[in-house]
Chains A and B, each alone.
Chain A
């Protein structure tokens, strides 16, 4: 049973470009979460999704950031017009039905904005 799969592992973008981060949850998991970890800081919740639904996006910046979890395919975190402050590790996690608070994390995508 493969774990949570994230790609790419590393993503380099220039200011103003778009970044797309992908996440496939563990088999059987229907809840997906995105967290961001800035250098020397803790993980910060961004968004919680189930298939085709955004359940909680209270941690998402109001502009430039969006997330989706389509019926088919991985969850996508999209950052438009990236700025240097977006440089961080972005972790995706999934949880099984019945124990939504027990998260299994992917290896993360390290986004570097030049």
Chain B
């Protein structure tokens, strides 16, 4: 089983739609969680951290369910510029500063 699993997609959605991605992780002792965004052939960039209480940043909402070991990202009112690959990232307990990346979910927002 992969340490961090994501549906690769692609998710093709019209502009203005709401889309949600899920991610599961295998290590129940994992401590911190993030969503990164990666545009084609470019470097990953931190989108947001994910907190146990859930957190929101503009059109983006992240949630963590420790009991089920999954993380979600909700994007409201999708823009064309949201088209990218979204990477679920986990900092595992005892892993020091080593982040484990999922393979990513590809989002395509269309007119």
A-side residues, CB < 8 A to B, are 31, 33, 35, 40-45, 48, 55-56, 58-59, 89, 91, 95, 100-108
Q: Is the CB of A106 within 8 A of B43?
A: yes
Q: Which of B42, B46, B98, B104 contacts A45 (CB 8 A)?
A: B98
Provide the residues of chain B in CB contact with A58, threshold 8 Å.
98
Selected from A42, A55, A108, the residue in CB contact (under 8 A) with B96 is: A55
Q: Are A33 and B104 in contact (CB under 8 A)?
A: no
Known A41-B103, A101-B91; judge A48-B44 contact (CB<8 A).
Answer: no
Contact status A101-B104, CB under 8 Å: no
Give the most central of B41, B97, B100, B101: most A CB within 10 Å. B97
| Interchain CB contact under 8 A, A91 and B102 | no
Q: A43-B44, A43-B87 are in contact. Are A103 and B103 (CB under 8 A)?
A: no
* Cα distance, A108 to B87, chains bound together (Å): 17
A43, B101: Cβ atoms under 8 Å?
yes
Q: How far is the CA of A103 from the CA of B49 in the complex (A)?
A: 11
| Residues of chain A within 8 A of B91, CB atoms compared | 101
Contacting pair A105 B101 (CB below 8 A): no
Do most interface residues of chain B lie in helix, strand or loop, or is the interface mixed? Answer: strand
> Is residue B32 within 8 Å, beta carbon to beta carbon, of the partner chain?
yes
Chain B residues with a Cβ under 8 A of chain A? 4, 32, 34, 41-46, 49, 87, 91, 96-104
With contact pairs A42-B103, A102-B46, A108-B43 given, residues A48 and B87 touching in the complex (Cβ less than 8 Å): no
Please list 5 pairs of residues, one from A and one from B, whose beta carbons are closer than 8 Å in the complex, sorted by A's number: A42-B87, A43-B44, A44-B101, A103-B99, A108-B43
Bound-complex Cα distance A12 to B98 (A): 29
Shortest Cβ gap from A42 to chain B (Å): 4
**Which A residues touch B46, using CB under 8 A?**
102-104
Q: A42-B103, A42-B104, A43-B87 are in contact. Are A107 and B98 (CB under 8 A)?
A: no
Q: Considering only CB atoms, which chain B residue lies closest to A31 in the complex?
A: B97
Residues of B within 8 A of A91 (CB): 43-44
- Chain B residues with CB below 8 A from A33, complex form: 97-98
CB-defined contacts of A89 to chain B, threshold 8 Å: 41
